[in-house]
Amino acid sequence: MPLSTRTKKEIENILKQKIKEKLEKYQPETIYMPFHHNLLGKDRYTMFSFIQSMNTTFGMSIWEQVAVILAKGAGFPAERQFKLLGKIDVNTEKTINELHFKLRKGEAKPNKFEEINRIKKVIKTGKPQKHPDSLVDLFIKIRFEENYFDITSAKPNLKEFAALKLKLLRWTALRLSQDKNANVFTRLAIPYNPFYPQSYDRWTLRELYDLENKEILVGDEFWNFIADDEIYNELLDIFQKVGEELRKDIDEKFATFK
């Protein structure tokens, strides 16, 4: 089913708002970088800095807000910057660290459901407390499954992938500490595939994540999953439409960098 007119309009409005805010408020960095400026040109480097700043905006808010709009448009409860409260007891933390260590050492193969069951067996009921890993980028309840997403950059390195895996394990424990019967699934979301048209095949994730059971969703897999339909190309069209509408404003901003 195509995206509703209301969903499209909400996404368009979010994109326009964020881009206009960036165009109005962005000021070029005043950092003195003589080698970069002399080699590339100060105007080109300023444009690059602006685009980098825009990338940060995507990572900090746009992806999450668009995801919530799509999920709600499909009829699913959704929330960004969700606070996942709970308590991880000492034995469960030890189990999580052992699981994580064996995966990193290659002594165990990733299996999401086995990992959930291991945690479920040892976790103790605890108070709904704030944990250093309590903040979830995106929560969506899809039918009977509670999905907790960390939306990450397109090319995390091995160290980042390992840290994110540990966070996903802890999220599972936090939720189960409140309800052992919760149907919880923690996932990593990567908004687009930088290797397109080839598949996303980072060797750094193979031994840590259960790819068969979709512990990681990349690009169209992610967007179609949360919208419960094949909407990825429609979503790209919305971004293109907004970009064309704001092209004059963007060009005028770039002109000020020269």
Per-residue pLDDT of 146-177, as tens digits, reads 999 999 987 778 888 999 999 999 999 999 99
Ramachandran area for residue 78 (φ above 0: left; ψ -120 to 50: alpha; else beta): beta
How far is Cα 203 from Cα 196, in angstroms, rounded to an integer? 16
> Is the distance from CB of 84 to CB of 148 less than 8 angstroms?
yes
Q: What is the pLDDT of residue 200?
A: 82
Would the pLDDT of 203 be above 60? no
What tokens appear for 243 in the block? 């970009």
Would the pLDDT of 211 be above 60? yes
What values do phi and psi take at 8, rounded to 5? -60, -45
- pTM of this structure: 0.91
Q: What whole-number percentage of the chain has pLDDT above 90?
A: 69
Segment 111-134 mean pLDDT: 97
What tokens appear for 180 in the block? 């052992």
Q: How many CB atoms lie within 10 A of CB 218?
A: 24
**Confidence bin at 223 (pLDDT 50/70/90):** very high
> Is the distance from CB of 45 to CB of 36 less than 8 angstroms?
yes
For residue 147, the number of C-alpha atoms closer than 13 Å in the C-beta half-sphere is 27
132-148 in b/e form (b: 16+ CB < 10 A) is ebbebbbbbebeeebbb
185-206 in b/e form (b: 16+ CB < 10 A) is bbbbbbbbbeeeeeebebeebe
Burial of 233 (0-12, 13-18, 19+ CB in 10 A): exposed
Q: What is the pLDDT of residue 38?
A: 77
- Give the Å distances, CA to CA, from 32 to 46, 54, 64, 171, 258: 12, 21, 34, 42, 16
DSSP H helical segments within 26-157, as ranges? Answer: 34-40, 42-57, 63-73, 90-105, 112-122
Q: Which of 130-134, 152-156, 212-216 has the lowest mean pLDDT?
A: 152-156
Q: What is the pLDDT of residue 117?
A: 97
Per-residue pLDDT of 58-112, as tens digits, reads 877 899 999 999 999 999 999 999 999 999 999 999 999 999 999 999 999 999 9
Would the pLDDT of 201 be above 80? no
For residue 77, the number of C-alpha atoms closer than 13 Å in the C-beta half-sphere is 8
Average pLDDT, the chain: 91
| Domains by residue range for the chain, with CATH | 1-73+232-258 (no CATH), 75-228 (3.40.1560)
- Strands 145-151 and 184-190, sheet pairing: parallel
Q: What is the pLDDT of residue 41?
A: 77
How far is Cα 63 from Cα 78, in angstroms, rounded to an integer? 13
